[in-house]
Structure 1
Amino acid sequence: MKQVLSNQSNLEHSNLSVPAFGYELIREEVLSDLLGKNASQLLYWAGKNLARKYPLDSIDDIISFFKRAGWGELTIHTLKKNEYEFHLTNQMVTSRMKKNEEHSFQLEAGFLAQQIQQHKNQLTEAYEQHKKRVNQVIFTVKWDKE
């Protein structure tokens, strides 16, 4: 968490909020246009790269990071020997899920995969599943058996 705080202290505008419309324009339109058909895969790897730049010490720190980044309310739902299940919700998630077009939470999935990989010191992957009925994204994070 120390790295995150030092990185964020370098950002003069860390306490400012961005309108959801502006965030969505960049996330859903600009990035999609720039990355093309490979957007999901590239966002996953971008999320992993972000996690390397912002290493976090605990799941609580990861949850806090999600909130500060505006990605949503992340909760840990299930802890298993080689798997965690996280749930992501908030108004932005709900809004994105109500659109008919395809949307991806692969940036968040990659970020989670890399954070847990750094904690477990095991090769880790994250998978997203959309639960439109309850307006949430479920991330299943799995790692190799020790």
Structure 2
Amino acid sequence: MTNAFYSQFAGNAIKSSVLSVEVLRDALLPNLLGDDRSGILYWAGKDLARQFPVAADEDLVTFFEQCGWGHLIVEQAANDLITYELTGEPVARRSFAIKDPDFMLETGFLAEQASTRFNCVSEAKITFQNKMRIRIAVTIDHDQPLLAHDPATPIEIVRPEADQQPAPDDAPTNPDA
């Protein structure tokens, strides 16, 4: 169900309204969740990552763009620490429009993606935040493997047509050659 759900909406040329997403994310949820907002959104991000596992960093970047979370890059990757930077119009828009924007959904999502990828406990925290960029550090604890972990099959990322390159067999032929 998850892969079909993702494919249906990620491949849809008609994108949802930014307003509809922001009303839910930054008007409704903070009122519903109150002071526990950050913690709940962190765990919600982890749950989303279990529903939408990705296979590689490039898929993670595409997924973030498609969700409207911003442009994600891997700043640094080591055995026990991955540092991401989240930038772009969604980050700036939310940062300028909202007094205290919360990016814990994205933080939890990255923590769980690392847990799934490395099959061990991983946690994430925001280490830097200004109005234009967020830095998220994911700590991977290889000494705490996940027990009875049955990772889900990664979703098949839908790539925008402009990013797709034709296969060698699809190359146009020149009948005059």
Give the TM-score, by structure 1 length. 0.87
Q: Give 4+ residue runs of structure 1 displaced > 4 Å after superposition.
A: 10-13
The answer to whether the aligner puts 1:104 opposite 2:102 as a matched pair is yes
Q: 1:33 aligns to what SS in structure 2?
A: helix
Q: 1:103 aligns to what SS in structure 2?
A: coil
Q: 2:36 aligns to what SS in structure 1?
A: helix
Which one is further off, 95-104 or 79-88? 95-104
The answer to whether the aligner puts 1:69 opposite 2:43 as a matched pair is no
CA distance 1:130–1:29, change in 2 (3 Å): farther
Residue segments in structure 2 that go unaligned for 5+ positions in a row: 144-177
Q: What is the number of equivalent residue pairs in this alignment?
A: 143
The answer to whether the aligner puts 1:116 opposite 2:111 as a matched pair is no
1:58 Cα deviation after fit? 1.1
Whether contact under 8 Å (1:117, 1:143) holds in the other structure is yes
Whether contact under 8 Å (1:128, 1:138) holds in the other structure is yes
Q: 2:120 aligns to what SS in structure 1?
A: coil
2:52 to 54, 57, 63: 54
2:140 to 120, 124, 143: 143
Whether contact under 8 Å (2:122, 2:141) holds in the other structure is yes
Q: 1:37 is matched with which residue? A: 35
1:95 to 74, 93, 96: 93
Query: Matched residues in 2 for 1:92 and 1:53: separation?
Result: 23
- Calculate the aligned-residue CA RMSD, in Å: 2.1
Query: Matched residues in 2 for 1:52 and 1:73: separation?
Result: 21
User: Which structure is higher in helix share?
Assistant: 1
Whether contact under 8 Å (1:4, 1:56) holds in the other structure is no
User: Percentage identity across aligned positions?
Assistant: 29
Residue segments in structure 1 that go unaligned for 5+ positions in a row: none
1:132 Cα deviation after fit? 1.8
Whichever of the two has the greater Rg, that structure is 2
1:56 Cα deviation after fit? 1.0
Query: Matched residues in 2 for 1:61 and 1:69: separation?
Result: 12
1:18 Cα deviation after fit? 2.5
